[in-house]
Amino acid sequence: MNENNKPYIPALKYTWLTSLYDPIIGLTMREFSFKQRMIEQADIRMNQRVLDVGCGTATLAILLKRMHPNIAIVGIDGDSDVLNIARKKAAKASLDITLELGIAFELPCATNYFDHVFSSLLFHHLTTENKRRTLKEIFRVLKPEGELHVADFGKPKNKLMYFISIFMRRLEKTEANFRGLLPQMLEEAGFDRITEYAQYMTVFSSISLYEAVKPAIDNQPTRQHC
């Protein structure tokens, strides 16, 4: 299989580590801090539709639903094992969250359907080409003036984070992230009002938070609903 056609790198790179994903990320990535900041940054209103792309074990989707109980949330991930964990977590929390199997760069969702799209720690699992394809798909499913919120590795802003990033580049598809290319890719996909509004230092290098907006006028072809 051509590298650009591989759907994604599994969480923590190896499928046998999937069950350890939540405790490892919780201990090493300041997960709650940056995910809460993402939600607080977003202008989420009652009855809006929210998509979590690459939702993983639904940590972000669950936090979104708890902070905004009157919104409709759909989580999509390409890993069925991870989704099984996500469904158990959502059920245990007694939260109504739709969780579906799907690939980020071929979203099974309607055009101009969501008010917000969130993506947390997804893009460094994708090849550069699939990063671009995913952003185009996100652009398509967002309503005009809809918001995209991204948390992922970004360009290091100090020597320590840069040193750690050298090691991380060998593990996953992080080269474009650490070169600071995600804002450029967002612009190429059609987004505007692109901002990097926060950065968090972690043991795996810097996590940047980005926000971008789909312009008000859009002529995308329609597709089926999620």
What is the per-residue pLDDT across 145-165, written as a single tens digit (0 to 9) for each? 999 999 999 998 888 887 777
How far is it, in rounded angstroms, from Cα 133 to Cα 156?
Answer: 25
Does pLDDT of 117 surpass 80? yes
CB-CB contact of 109 with 221 (8 Å):
no
**Residue boundaries of the structural domains of the chain:** 3-213
Nearest to 191 by CA among 214, 169, 217, 223: 214
What average pLDDT score do residues 61-75 get?
A: 97
Enclosing H/E stretch for 205: strand 205-213
CB-CB contact of 124 with 173 (8 Å):
yes
What average pLDDT score do residues 185-189 get?
A: 98
Nearest to 7 by CA among 114, 147, 129, 100: 129
How far is it, in rounded angstroms, from Cα 208 to Cα 34?
Answer: 9
- CB-neighbour burial class of residue 131 (10 A; exposed 0-12, middle 13-18, buried 19+): buried
| Pair of tokens at residue 3 | 């590298």
What average pLDDT score do residues 86-101 get?
A: 97
The pLDDT, as a whole number, for residue 47 is 97
How far is it, in rounded angstroms, from Cα 7 to Cα 5?
Answer: 6
What is the per-residue pLDDT across 13-61, written as a single tens digit (0 to 9) for each? 444 344 555 545 555 556 788 999 999 999 999 999 999 999 999 999 9
Domain 3-213: which CATH number of 3.40.190.10, 3.30.420.40, 3.40.50.150, 3.40.50.300: 3.40.50.150
User: Which of 5-14, 96-105, 157-166, 183-192 is the least confident region?
Assistant: 5-14
Does pLDDT of 125 surpass 50? yes
pTM of the model: 0.84
- CB-neighbour burial class of residue 46 (10 A; exposed 0-12, middle 13-18, buried 19+): exposed
